[in-house]
Amino acid sequence: MLKLLNLLKDGRFHSGQALGEAMGVSRSAVWKQLQHLESELNLTIHKVRGRGYQLATPLSLLEASAIAAFAQGEQWPVLVHDSIDSTNAEALRLIGKGQAAPFLVLAERQSAGRGRRGRHWVSPFAENLYYSLVLRVEGGMRQLEGLSLVVGLAVMRTLHTFGVKGAGLKWPNDVLVANKKIVGILLELVGDPADVCHVVLGVGINVNMQSNDQVDQQWTSMRRETGDLIDRNRLVAQLNQQLQHELSRHRRYGFAAFQEEWEQAHLWQGRKVSLIAGNQTVDGIVLGVDGQGGLRMDVEGVEKSFSGGELGLRLRDDS
């Protein structure tokens, strides 16, 4: 099936005969595989008599060799899956099996992609980026302070290099364009955070997705914003390079070195918000972030800081 997909990924018409000859199968076998691509991967394939078969939109398939060709600097081992439950879940399994970090897990699609606070992350085949980087962390909690915010900065800057100029940050782990979500970030820890542990940096980027009725919030994608089909292999290489730079700076100086630049990129700076923690809500005005990456808010004239993986932030109706 993937051999057929590689022949079709250019988005051009290919005759059934040519596809059959390239694959060494009959035209009827090609037809069966085409039907499987449509039903299993939810791909739209145009069928035109006299011209053949064409994917409704070209695909950029992930390949470790193509990522390496774009790479600059250190190259992390890359594991690419056609389909998996979740790249973060696979990364955690590999940590448990003793896989040496750093390494990167990618997938063309996820059957059980996860966002923060247990939310489902919609993961159509070969359209977006499902990315989990595993790092070994030594030196205690200081190495983890504000780490998710640093990852957000790195992702935002990567999007800027691809022409998504309006991308900015939302505390704690989202990248937005005009209040539409384009990136979600989920960090998961294994081990002793006070000594030696592993951290999985999970990043989901809406790349080439143009329509999807399963997403339950306002969203956009790199292709929607730029009008261009994005080469996801180049995107991975650029994101790797940006993360290497920012993570090195974070290890050396801590999050305090990023505090001002993160605040400058925060789209909700100075806005009226509601902070949600379970069944409790705190209303206030965003002041910025503290030296550990916690959210600073003016709550009835008093500055308070908030942090924690289960917190959510929403704009107030009167903001």
DSSP labels for 21-62? HHHTS-HHHHHHHHHHHHHHH---EEEETTTEEEESS-----
Give the pLDDT band of residue 124 (cuts 50, 70, 90): confident
Phi, psi (5° rounding) for residue 254?
80, 175
Query: Do residue 143 and residue 254 come from a single domain?
Result: yes
Q: Which amino acid is at 295?
A: L
Residue 110, marked binder: yes
Tokens of 223: 């292709």
- pLDDT surpassing 70 at residue 230: yes
Residue 165, marked binder: no
CATH number at residue 23: 1.10.10.10
DSSP labels for 185-198? EEEEEEE-TTSEEE
Query: Do residue 14 and residue 131 come from a single domain?
Result: no
| Cβ(60)–Cβ(67) below 8 Å | no
Residue 181, marked binder: yes
Query: Do residue 87 and residue 13 come from a single domain?
Result: no
How large is the average pLDDT for residues 156-170?
97
Q: Give the whole-angstrom CA distance, residue 236 versus residue 129.
A: 8
What torsion do the CA atoms of 65, 247, 275, 160 make, to the nearest 10 degrees? Answer: -60
DSSP-based three-state secondary structure for 278: coil
What's the structural domain count of the chain? 3
In this prediction, residue 130 carries a pLDDT of: 96
Q: Using CA of residue 166, residue 131, residue 307, residue 310, what is the dihedral sign?
A: positive
**Looking at the annotation, which residues are catalytic?**
116, 181, 314
Closest to 2 (Cα-Cα) out of 61, 65, 51: 61
Query: Do residue 125 and residue 256 come from a single domain?
Result: yes
Closest to 319 (Cα-Cα) out of 276, 245, 268: 268
Query: Do residue 104 and residue 231 come from a single domain?
Result: yes
Query: Do residue 218 and residue 155 come from a single domain?
Result: yes
One-letter-per-residue 3-state SS of 262-281: HHHHECCCCCEEEEEECCEE
**Lowest mean pLDDT, pick from 113-117, 145-149, 306-310:** 113-117
In percent, the amount of the chain with pLDDT more than 70 equals 94
CATH number at residue 190: 3.30.930.10
In this prediction, residue 65 carries a pLDDT of: 94
- Which residues span the domain enclosing 24? 2-55
Residue 226, marked binder: no
Q: Tokens 């932030």 sit at which residue?
A: 313
DSSP-based three-state secondary structure for 291: coil
Query: Do residue 140 and residue 122 come from a single domain?
Result: yes
In this prediction, residue 101 carries a pLDDT of: 95
CATH number at residue 311: 2.30.30.100
| Cβ(8)–Cβ(14) below 8 Å | yes
Query: Do residue 130 and residue 93 come from a single domain?
Result: yes
Q: Tokens 């039907």 sit at which residue?
A: 35
- pLDDT surpassing 60 at residue 117: no
In this prediction, residue 156 carries a pLDDT of: 98
DSSP-based three-state secondary structure for 116: helix
Residue 116, marked binder: yes
Phi, psi (5° rounding) for residue 304?
-130, 150
Query: Do residue 69 and residue 191 come from a single domain?
Result: yes
Query: Do residue 145 and residue 218 come from a single domain?
Result: yes
Query: Do residue 227 and residue 139 come from a single domain?
Result: yes
Other CB atoms within 10 Å distance of the CB of residue 82: 15
Query: Do residue 222 and residue 288 come from a single domain?
Result: no
Closest to 103 (Cα-Cα) out of 62, 63, 134: 134
| Cβ(270)–Cβ(286) below 8 Å | yes
pLDDT in tens, 19-51: 988 988 988 888 888 888 888 787 888 988 889
